[in-house]
Chains A and B, each alone.
Chain A
Amino acid sequence: MLAYLVRRLFLAVLTSLAVSVLAYIVIELPPGDYITSYIAQMSSSGSFVSAQEAEALRQQYGLDQPLYIQYLRWMGMVLRGNFGMALEYGRPVAEVIGDRLWLTMVVSVGAIIFTWLVALPIGIYSAVRQYSIGDYIATFVGFIGLAIPSFMLALILMYFGFTLFNANIGGLFSDEFAEAPWSLAKAWDLTKHLPLPALILGFAGTAQLIRIMRANLLDELGKPYVVTARARGLSETRLIMKYPVRVALNPFASTIGYLLPYVVSGSIIVSLVLSLPTVGPLLLKALVAQDMFLAGTIVLLLGVMTVIGTFLSDLLLMWIDPRIRFEGKQ
Chain B
Amino acid sequence: MAKKQASVTRREFLQQAALASGAVALAGFSPTAATVAQAGEQRIGSQLIGKLEGPELVLDPAKWPKKFGEAPMLAELVKAGKLPPVEKRIPEEPMVVKPLHSIGKYGGTWRRGFTGPGDGENGNRIVSTDKILFWDYTGTKIMPCLAKDWKVSDDGRVIAITLRKGHRWSDGHPFTADDFVFWYEDIYMNRDIQPNPHPDFMVNGKPGRLTKRDDYTVVFEFPEPNYLFVDILAGSTAMGGGQATQQFFLRTMGAYMPAHYIKQFLPKYSSRDEVDRKAKAAGFDGWLSYAKNRWDWRLNTEVPTLGPWKTVMPANTPTWGLERNPFYYGVDTEGNQLPYIDKINMGLAENLEVLNLRAIAGQYDLQERHTAMSKIPVFLENRAKGNYDVRLDPALNGSDATLQINHAYEADPEIAKWLHNRDFRRALSLGIERDQLNETFWLGIGVAGSVIPSESSPYSPGAEWRKKWSTHNPKQANELLDKIGLTKKDGEGYRLRTDGKGRLRIELQTSAGAFIPHTQIAEMIKEHWKKIGIQADTKELERNLFFTKIKGNEHQIAIWANDGTEVLYLFPRHALPVDPVEALMGHPIADWFASNGKAGKAPTDPEMLKALEMFRSAGSKKTAQERYEIAREIFKIIVDNQFSIGTVGQSPATMGVRIVSKKLGNIPAREVNAQHARTPCSSHPATFFYKS
Spell out A's residues near B (CB within 8 Å): 30-32, 36-53, 55-57, 60, 82, 84-86, 88-92, 96, 99, 152, 155-156, 158-159, 162, 166, 168-171, 175, 178-179, 271-277, 281, 285, 289-290
Contacts and interface: CB of A to CB of B under 8 A. Distances in A.
Contacts of B258: none
A175 B347 contact: yes
A275 B345 contact: no
B26 interface: no
A179 B313 contact: yes
A80 B664 CA distance: 53
Nearest to A56: B195
Interface in B98-121: 111, 116-118, 120-121
Contacts of A40: 543-544, 546-547
The secondary structure that dominates the B interface is loop
B361 interface: yes
Interface centre among B118, B345, B358 (most CB of A within 10 A): B118
Interface in B284-303: 284-286, 288-289, 293, 296, 299
B236 interface: yes
B555 to A, nearest CB: 14
24 contacts: A30-B542, A30-B544, A30-B545, A31-B548, A38-B249, A41-B118, A43-B573, A46-B236, A48-B238, A48-B581, A49-B581, A50-B196, A52-B196, A82-B283, A84-B285, A88-B117, A159-B1, A168-B363, A169-B354, A170-B350, A175-B363, A179-B321, A272-B351, A275-B354
Q: Which 6 A-B pairs have the closest CB atoms?
A: A275-B354, A89-B316, A52-B196, A275-B350, A92-B283, A56-B195
A48 B200 contact: yes
A267 B580 CA distance: 40
Contact of A31 (B251, B283, B545, B579): B545
A158 B348 CA distance: 17
B582 A85 contact: no
A25 to B, nearest CB: 17
Interface string B341-376: 000010111110110011011010000000000000
Name the interface size band of chain B.
35 or more
A45 B318 contact: no
A168 B545 CA distance: 37
Nearest to A49: B581
A273 B318 contact: no
Contacts of A89: 117, 299, 316
A106 B569 CA distance: 53
A168 B299 CA distance: 28
A63 B43 CA distance: 51
A175 B111 contact: yes
B542 A179 contact: no
Given A178-B347, A273-B351, A162 B357 contact: yes
B319 interface: yes
Contacts of B547: 32, 36, 39-40, 43
B2 interface: yes
Contacts of B111: 175
Interface string B542-561: 11111110000000000000
B512 to A, nearest CB: 10
Nearest to A94: B283
A89 B358 CA distance: 24
A82 B350 CA distance: 27
B545 A178 contact: no
Contacts of B195: 52-53, 55-56
A175 B563 CA distance: 34
Interface in B36-65: none
Contacts of A170: 349-350, 354, 357-358
Given A96-B316, A155-B2, A45 B121 contact: yes
Nearest to B359: A169
Contacts of B581: 39, 43, 48-51
